[in-house]
Amino acid sequence: MAARDDHHNHVKKIPLFPLLSLLCFASIFLVLSLSRKTSSNPLISHQSFQFGENPVTDPNVALSGTCDYSDGVWIYDHEPRPARYDGSCKEIFKGWNCISNNKSNGWELTKWRWKPRLCDLPLFDPVYFLDKYRNTNIGFVGDSLNRNMFVSLFCTLKRVSSEVKKWRPAGADRGFTFLNYNLTIAYHRTNLLASYGRWSANANGGMLESLGFKEGFRVDVDVPEGTWAGAPAFHDILIFNTGHWWWAPSKFDPVKSPMLFFKKGHPVIPPIPPDVGLDMVLKHMVLFIEKNLRPGAIKFFRTQSPRHFEGGDWNQGGTCQRLQPLSPEQVEGLFSLKNNGTNVEARLVNRHLMKALKRSGFHILDITHMSEIRADAHPSTSGGKKHDDCMHWCLPGVTDTWNDLFVKHLNNIKFRD
Ligand SMILES: *[C@@H]1O[C@H](CO)[C@@H](O)[C@H](O)[C@H]1NC(C)=O
Ligand SMILES: *[C@@H]1O[C@H](CO)[C@@H](O)[C@H](O)[C@H]1NC(C)=O
Ligand SMILES: *[C@@H]1O[C@H](CO)[C@@H](O)[C@H](O)[C@H]1NC(C)=O
């Protein structure tokens, strides 16, 4: 017991320093933004961002020309500002519409702003975006978390340009063209990136049968799922993700319905666990994308979106009822690999992604850490399911900031000129 109390005291002392420095940053920032307000509306800023042009100028940053956008704090804006969009956007999946579903902090979520420590991340300007990316196709490829991000982008753009054609380009699950700009955005649904389907033992036997496998899922590590195989040749800008389904025993039960990996049409023998399969899939999909991409196309890979189940996993009564972002200590408690907690896959997936993308031409959209802090921003009980939804994000909400980051990166990349 004594040791435990010591531990607690120790833990309680640590937060003071980061807290004080955060307060310092917040107040410096507040003063600066107040003094700037007369000259420009922060919502509609057409100037393009220059690296190193920071309110808190760090000489190292100015010299090296980099800013770590994943290192920062969420700041609560007390003054009201126009929302990018609201619960009336029809494309918002019902369970994610926290405003319409009366989640108690549904509106509050629009007031939090991400402030990278050494630079700014302004809200992107949808009119400028539509204009700059005329005649462009943008594809989101991945699981429902990429759909969440796609919906955020759609709703933000729809607010300022309402003439859209709804269609399904190149096998997409959903898609829209903003007619006044000929800008198309689409969502291609794929859980694993690789093609997969039910597998059962063949009466005539085989390698897997001889090892005792009866049921499972066949995952072809070198075959992209048909829902997006045409996407690299169609889109000019692509944003990929995968991750949640690799650690989803409710579907891929290691005993009753394991993932069985195939390569060149044959089972991989000896059979490999999902994390090794993920590495193989990523390797092959990266090659496939690079080979099939349109000339001059830009590709992003988004890092893993964290879940916030506390008190158990999603099917064990886990919940996410917090109404405030987490402190740095709480974040480490939930996500640190050494704690091996319920949501540990967030950082594990990223290790696999970083390994696979290391010498590739992908731009990495690192949204993990900023999102880890936002335990308050999931639909929770307002999601309308039997269990809390602590995985997807309320809209409007955190994925709006992912899109700010996406647009910020995109605008810094040379595109078609
Ligand atoms: C949300 O609150 C409004 C107003 O009280 C009510 O009309 C509506 O039915 C509620 N919606 C849900 C999903 O509970
Ligand atoms: C619209 O954009 C697509 C994609 O870049 C392009 O192929 C097409 O020619 C454009 N259409 C018009 C009418 O400019
Ligand atoms: C992490 O936790 C899970 C479930 O609680 C357990 O099955 C697994 O063995 C643990 N892994 C490690 C490395 O401790």
Specify the CATH number for the domain of residue 372.
3.40.50.1110
Question: Which pLDDT does position 65 carry in this prediction?
Answer: 54
251 belongs to a structural domain: no
Instruction: State whether the beta carbon of 177 lies less than 6 angstroms from ligand 2.
Output: no
Q: Give mean pLDDT, residues 19-26.
A: 41
3-state secondary structure of 315: helix
Q: Atom 9 of ligand 1 has which residue's CA nearest to it?
A: 101
Which residue's alpha carbon is nearest to atom 1 within ligand 1?
A: 102
Question: Does residue 154 lie within any of the structural domains?
Answer: yes
Ligand nearest to the CA of 340: 3
Q: What is the mean pLDDT of residues 276-298?
A: 97
Residue 127's pLDDT is 98
In the chain, how many domains are there? Answer: 1
Instruction: Indicate the angle between helix axes 144-158 and 398-411, nearest 10 degrees.
Output: 80
- DSSP symbols for 340-385: T-TTTHHHHHHHHHHHHHTTSSPEEE--HHHHHT-TT-S-BGGG-S
Residue identifier of the C-alpha nearest atom 4 of ligand 1: 102
Question: What is the predicted pLDDT for the residue at 249?
Answer: 73
> How far is it, in rounded angstroms, from Cα 109 to Cα 349?
27
Residue 23, pLDDT above cutoff 80: no
* Interval 332-341: pLDDT, tens: 999 999 999 9
3-state secondary structure of 104: coil
**Residue 137 in contact with ligand 2 by CB distance below 6 A:** yes
The number of CA neighbours under 13 Å toward the Cβ of 174 is: 15
Is 35 within a domain? Answer: no
The reported pLDDT for the residue numbered 54 is 34
Q: Which atom of ligand 2 is nearest to the CA of 134?
A: 2
Predicted confidence at residue 417, as pLDDT, reads: 63
pLDDT of residue 62: 41
Higher pLDDT among residues 414 and 196, named by residue: 196
Which ligand is nearest to the Cα of residue 249, counting in written order?
3
Look at the block and give the residue holding tokens 């700037």: 36
Which protein residue's CA is at the shortest distance from atom 13 of ligand 2? 182
Mean pLDDT of 54-68: 51
Q: Is the pLDDT of residue 381 over 60?
A: yes
Contact 227, 292 (CB under 8 A): no
259-263 and 266-267: which strand pairing? antiparallel
**Domain encompassing residue 180:** 55-191+225-240+281-411
Identify whether 262 is part of a domain: no
Of 132, 133, 134, 135, the residue with max ligand 2 atoms within 8 A of its CB, to mutate for a pocket test, comes to 135
For residue 257, being part of any structural domain is answered with: no
Whether the CA torsion 98, 102, 103, 109 is positive or negative: it is positive
The whole-angstrom separation of Cα 149 and Cα 186 is 11
Of 60, 46, 35, the C-alpha closest to 118 is 60
Q: Is the pLDDT of residue 8 over 50?
A: no
- CA 289 to chain centroid: 19
Mean pLDDT of the chain: 87
Rounded to an integer, the average pLDDT of 70-85 is 91
Ligand 2 centroid vs 134 CA: distance in angstroms?
A: 9
**pLDDT for the residue numbered 37:** 34
Report pLDDT for 203.
94
255 assigned to some structural domain: no
Residues 6 or more apart whose CB falls under 8 angstroms from that of 110 comprise 83, 84, 396, 397
Nearest CA to ligand 2 atom 8: 135
Confidence of residue 248 (pLDDT cuts 50, 70, 90): confident
Least confident of 2-6, 140-144, 216-220, 401-405: 2-6
- Tell whether 48 is covered by a domain: no
Report how far apart, in Å, the C-alpha atoms of 27 and of each of 12, 20, 71, 80 are.
24, 11, 18, 18
Is residue 211 a part of any domain in this protein?
no
395 pLDDT higher than 90: yes
